[in-house]
């Protein structure tokens, strides 16, 4: 029975791929550069294992229009090796750090003929199963504006316009509310002044009166009193 279980476990382990045997390699997708400039092509990897002393990096290059790739760089046994016959034999430098899983290279004095695809492959024994990653290099006399930059500029302009519209809207609301408030205060102020003026005009009428009328009234009162006395 134990023999059967042991055989079954060996079969299952052979069928199911172990997670620690996978390695994932990363490079950029596309790089732009000017004629005569230098550019760094990055390559790194993810592995479930610790970085091995036997880690290796390999770079190959396929020119635009070419069918086959050529090897241009190899790192193994702790030492970098540049192909001494390829187009980059005097213009390629290893600038990576294998201890940090970095296998980047530097290409110098670029020319139009350097346009093409660079592929990086890495191994971190025992993690050796993985797919190589590629980056395309485009060399220009003037670096074109990328679509992402244009899209970002358009989005920024639209957002700025929306913010400006909102600010203008709330500013107009504030000005209208302030105008209505000032008109209301002015209207109530005029009504109050009108009432005070009418009261002030009525006071002298009630207190002073016409002298001739007062004199006539006084004489009429005396006549009435004298008639009462005769009776």
pLDDT at 74: 96
Mind listing the pLDDT tens digit for each residue in 100-132?
Answer: 999 999 999 999 999 999 999 999 999 989 999
pLDDT at 12: 43
Task: Please report which confidence band the pLDDT of residue 21 belongs to, taking 50, 70 and 90 as the band edges.
Answer: low
Q: How far is CA 96 from CA 20, 41, 75, 112, 121, in A?
A: 24, 10, 10, 25, 14
Q: State the chain's mean pLDDT as an integer.
A: 81
Mind listing the pLDDT tens digit for each residue in 185-199?
Answer: 777 766 655 555 555
Mind listing the pLDDT tens digit for each residue in 162-181?
Answer: 899 889 988 888 888 888 88
Residue 123 phi, psi (nearest 5)? -135, 135
Side by side, the strands of the sheet bearing 39-41 are 39-41, 105-107, 92-94
Using DSSP's 3-state secondary structure scheme, residue 1 falls into coil
Are the beta carbons of 218 and 212 closer than 8 angstroms? no
pLDDT at 15: 40
Residue 163 phi, psi (nearest 5)? -60, -40
Averaged pLDDT for residues 71-87? 93
Given a cut of 50, is residue 14 above it in pLDDT?
no
Among residues of the chain, what percentage have pLDDT more than 90?
A: 48
Give the least confident one: 61-70, 140-149, 198-207, 211-220.
Answer: 198-207
Task: Please report which confidence band the pLDDT of residue 226 belongs to, taking 50, 70 and 90 as the band edges.
Answer: confident
Q: Is 156 exposed, middle or buried (0-12, 13-18, 19+ CB in 10 A)?
A: exposed
Whole-model pTM? 0.55
Are the beta carbons of 61 and 118 closer than 8 angstroms? yes
Given a cut of 80, is residue 81 above it in pLDDT?
yes
Residue 12 vs residue 105, higher pLDDT: 105
Tell me the residue ranges of DSSP E strands in 28-184.
30-34, 39-41, 43-47, 56-63, 70-76, 79-82, 92-94, 105-107, 116-123, 133-140
Angle at 49 between CA 106 and CA 95, to 5 degrees: 10
Residue 29 DSSP class? S
pLDDT at 228: 65
Angle at 57 between CA 56 and CA 59, to 5 degrees: 150
pLDDT at 183: 80
Given a cut of 60, is residue 157 above it in pLDDT?
yes
CA 113 to chain centre: 36
């Amino acid at each position: 029975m134990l023999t059967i279980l042991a055989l079954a476990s060996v079969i299952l382990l052979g069928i199911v791929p172990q997670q620690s045997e996978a390695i994932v390699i990363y490079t950029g997708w596309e790089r732009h550069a000017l004629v005569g400039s230098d550019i760094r092509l990055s390559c790194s990897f993810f592995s479930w294992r610790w970085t091995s002393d036997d880690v290796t990096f390999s770079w190959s290059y396929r020119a635009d229009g070419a069918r086959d790739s050529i090897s241009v760089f190899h790192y193994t046994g702790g030492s970098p090796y540049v192909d001494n016959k390829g187009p980059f034999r005097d213009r390629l430098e290893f600038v990576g750090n294998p201890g940090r899983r970095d296998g980047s290279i530097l290409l110098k004095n670029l020319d139009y003929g350097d346009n093409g695809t660079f592929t990086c492959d890495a191994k971190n024994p025992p993690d050796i199963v993985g797919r190589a990653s590629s980056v395309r290099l485009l060399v220009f006399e003037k670096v074109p504006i990328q679509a992402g930059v244009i899209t970002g500029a358009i989005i920024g302009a639209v957002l700025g316009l929306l913010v400006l519209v909102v600010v203008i809207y709330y500013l107009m609301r504030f000005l209208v509310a302030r105008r209505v408030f000032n008109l209301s205060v002015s209207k109530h102020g005029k009504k109050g002044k009108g009432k005070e003026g009418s009261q002030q005009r009525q006071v002298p009428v009630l207190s002073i009166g016409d002298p001739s009328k007062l004199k006539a009234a006084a004489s009429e009162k005396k006549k009435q009193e004298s008639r009462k006395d005769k009776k």
